[in-house]
Chains A and B, each alone.
Chain A
Amino acid sequence: MTAAAPLTARPGAAPVPYRVAEREAETPDTATIVLEPVRSALQPFAPGQFAMVYAFGVGDIPLSVSGIDGRRLTHTVRTVGAVSGALNGLRRGDTVGVRGPFGTDWELPAAAGKDLLVVAGGIGLAPLRPLVRDALAAPERYGRLNVLIGARTPHELLYTGDVRGWQSAARILTTVDRADPPWQGEVGVVTTLLDRAAFSPGASAAFICGPEPMIRAAAGELVHRGVDPEQIRVSLERNVHCATGHCGHCQLGPLLLCRDGPVISWTKAQPLLMVREL
């Protein structure tokens, strides 16, 4: 850290207080919270990286950034346990502790000149949203942008307002596993949307986040269609505790995902995801 950066805190240090500036319910169990620093801000996050967000008195969990806006951080949290439940229940003005940024990012600039395939399953759209925003902000830098979104039901689709806004500049394809009568869109697994995406396999880069069986299916299908495995980046989720590469809880084979991930190339991920019970 330089002397000129007194307003940023080191990632591994104690949690830095952030205040909830906005909260928006996405679905009955998922909310997006916008955090602003109470005093000093953490170092800038890149799309794909994550923070450890601490609900005081309950505990902390890793949350990818789902939006980056200057000193503000946006996270989308789904209730699955005590900590996420506490974070989901935050209200405007509440304070949390944040550590970060941690981990690897999507490395979108390395995909300059290529068609982009963003494949998101469920809450996997959260870490991909800032990547899509960056790609949309620099259309001259990339080829065709495709965003493929899968969700369990229409009611569980995230960022519906954002996604509508993306449609004018990107090919947005959405599908759900189970439809109810008002839904007039596609029904099926997200990989079937690849048939309708616009991309040249030999000149494409893909970014995938979602449940691991979905990642395997999507990446496998892309490789089958001719996309270079090294041009496919996936975000993996494991049991991150310390986030600083010390505790080993997030180990996946030779990798510590808090440090070497969560975003890694399909070349690295594919053999690890084929190991039983790893």
Chain B
Amino acid sequence: MTVVRHGFLGALSPGHRKRLATFGHDVSFPGGTRIFDEDGVADRFWIIRSGLVALDVHVPGRREAVLETLGEGDLLGWSWLFEPYRWHLGAQARSTVSAFEFDAERVRAACEEDPSFGLALTNCVAQVIARRLKSTRIRLLDLYGPSDAGES
């Protein structure tokens, strides 16, 4: 398996990417597949090779609300790295999704065993979280609302 070099793993050294690859395998999800549910055990994570995945939140009495979509090169799932290892959101394939799937428990153990690998991987995940936080904050501004540009 060749782990993609772009996307969130771009900052990993070739050695660390190779090591990470030993914990993963190829998977495919047909469109509509529920990949994980909110509050479920975060025992895996994925790097998307192709297709689109919707991240959603459960709204009682209504359909899940889609908060964000992820595509090629994106990391799907970061709750596996932090206690209590439960998914914050749900995920569903919007189209056929091809991905690398990783065993989270084995990756966490490798992070414990090799702190330089653990630090590098944690940095990569932290960058993803920071980027998504920034995107969310920009969206909070509700930018596309009407602007009068001085019109009376």
Alpha-carbon distance A238/B150, docked complex (angstroms): 8
Minimum C-beta distance from A193 to chain B (A) = 9
B49-85 contacts to A (CB < 8 Å): 52, 54, 63, 66-69, 71-74
Q: A61-B151, A187-B66 are in contact. Are A214 and B7 (CB under 8 A)?
A: no
Asked if A201 is an interface residue, CB under 8 A from chain B, the answer is no
Decide: B71 and A189 in contact? CB cutoff 8 A.
no
Q: A122-B144, A195-B7 are in contact. Are A177 and B69 (CB under 8 A)?
A: no
Decide: B145 and A191 in contact? CB cutoff 8 A.
no
What 0/1 pattern do residues 69 to 106 of A give for CB contact below 8 A with B?
Answer: 00000000011111110000000000000000000000
Residues of chain A within 8 A of B94, CB atoms compared: 184
Decide: A152 and B69 in contact? CB cutoff 8 A.
no
What 0/1 pattern do residues 120 to 149 of B give for CB contact below 8 A with A?
Answer: 000000000000001100110111111111
Q: Which of A62, A150, A217, A240 contacts B144 (CB 8 A)?
A: A150
Asked if A26 is an interface residue, CB under 8 A from chain B, the answer is no
Asked if A116 is an interface residue, CB under 8 A from chain B, the answer is no
Decide: A237 and B144 in contact? CB cutoff 8 A.
no
Minimum C-beta distance from B53 to chain A (A) = 10
Residues of chain B within 8 A of A81, CB atoms compared: 148, 151-152
Task: Considering the complex, give the chain A residue whose CB is closest to the CB of B146.
Answer: A80
Alpha-carbon distance A156/B145, docked complex (angstroms): 10
Alpha-carbon distance A130/B45, docked complex (angstroms): 43
Asked if A228 is an interface residue, CB under 8 A from chain B, the answer is no
Task: Considering the complex, give the chain B residue whose CB is closest to the CB of A249.
Answer: B150
A121-164 contacts to B (CB < 8 Å): 121-123, 150-152, 156
Q: A196-B72, A214-B138 are in contact. Are A152 and B149 (CB under 8 A)?
A: no
Minimum C-beta distance from A85 to chain B (A) = 9
Task: Considering the complex, give the chain A residue whose CB is closest to the CB of B68.
Answer: A188
Q: Which of A79, A184, A189, A241 contacts B139 (CB 8 A)?
A: A189
Alpha-carbon distance A11/B141, docked complex (angstroms): 37
Decide: B135 and A188 in contact? CB cutoff 8 A.
yes
Nearest 3 CB-CB pairings of A with B: A239-B150, A122-B144, A81-B151
A-B contact pairs, 8 of them (CB 8 A): A81-B151, A121-B143, A187-B68, A192-B135, A196-B72, A211-B141, A213-B143, A239-B149
Residues of B at under 8 Å CB distance from A? 7, 52, 54, 63, 66-69, 71-74, 94-95, 134-135, 138-139, 141-152
